[in-house]
Chains A and B, each alone.
Chain A
Amino acid sequence: GESVGLHLPTLSVQEGDNSIINCAYSNSASDYFIWYKQESGKGPQFIIDIRSNMDKRQGQRVTVLLNKTVKHLSLQIAATQPGDSAVYFCAENPASSYKLIFGSGTRLLVRP
């Protein structure tokens, strides 16, 4: 059968609604958690990050929540716009490492 890894989860939202994109991470020792946005035909672009000693961080229309107890990260986008349509990746940065470990991504589709 097909590998689960080939299917990109998709979130479809109405323009103007709020979006919540979720991510599970694996490394308890990660120091930073980052969200990237990748539009079609472009490389990933940094959106927001959060340090492991924080639970919440807000940016412009975006909020990242970190739940270390269950190793869960979420990205909330307020008043979602058509320009928010993209693939969103979470990434974790293990402490004392140059590496970023990326999740498999979630596609966000914004319906007009």
Chain B
Amino acid sequence: DVKVTQSSRYLVKRTGEKVFLECVQDMDHENMFWYRQDPGLGLRLIYFSYDVKMKEKGDIPEGYSVSREKKERFSLILESASTNQTSMYLCASSFPGDHEQYFGPGTRLTVT
């Protein structure tokens, strides 16, 4: 079975802090994704990576950056956390051309 793990289930940070969210997948997937999920808004794509060191902006990249130094690991970085970044963050992975994405359990981030 595909396993996508995220470094934390719950995280509380202060406004202005730098925040790292880590995601690891064990299926050798080329594609990795970061989404945020807010009540009633579904999942919105923040960033996408299709290979090591390659990335593309999603629909809501402002305030975020990403890093993909190894194929299995995709990091989401909040350079200076703000309260409007309080959300559930979901990582996913897939093979190229495969529309089925495999999701991690999510990290619930609260910025105070």
Contact = CB atoms under 8 A, between A and B. Distances in A.
A62 to B, nearest CB: 15
Contact of B99 (A3, A45, A100): A100
B40 A7 contact: yes
Consensus secondary structure, chain B interface: strand
Given A100-B99, A105-B42, A43 B31 contact: no
Interface in B58-112: 58, 90, 92, 94, 96, 99-106
A11 to B, nearest CB: 15
A107 B22 CA distance: 28
Contacts of B39: 6, 8
A42 B105 contact: yes
Contacts of B42: 89, 102-105
Interface in A1-32: 3-8, 31-32
Contact of B100 (A7, A46, A104): A46
Interface residues of A, number: 25
A33 B106 CA distance: 23
A98 B50 contact: yes
Contacts of B101: 46, 100
A41 interface: yes
Contacts of B4: 43
A77 interface: no
A89 B102 CA distance: 14
Nearest to A42: B105
A5 B99 contact: no
B48 interface: yes
Interface string A67-106: 0000000000000000000000100010000111011110
Given A7-B40, A44-B43, A104-B42, A98 B100 contact: no
Nearest to A5: B40
Interface of B: 4, 31, 39-45, 48, 50, 58, 90, 92, 94, 96, 99-106
5 contacts: A5-B40, A5-B41, A43-B92, A89-B42, A100-B101
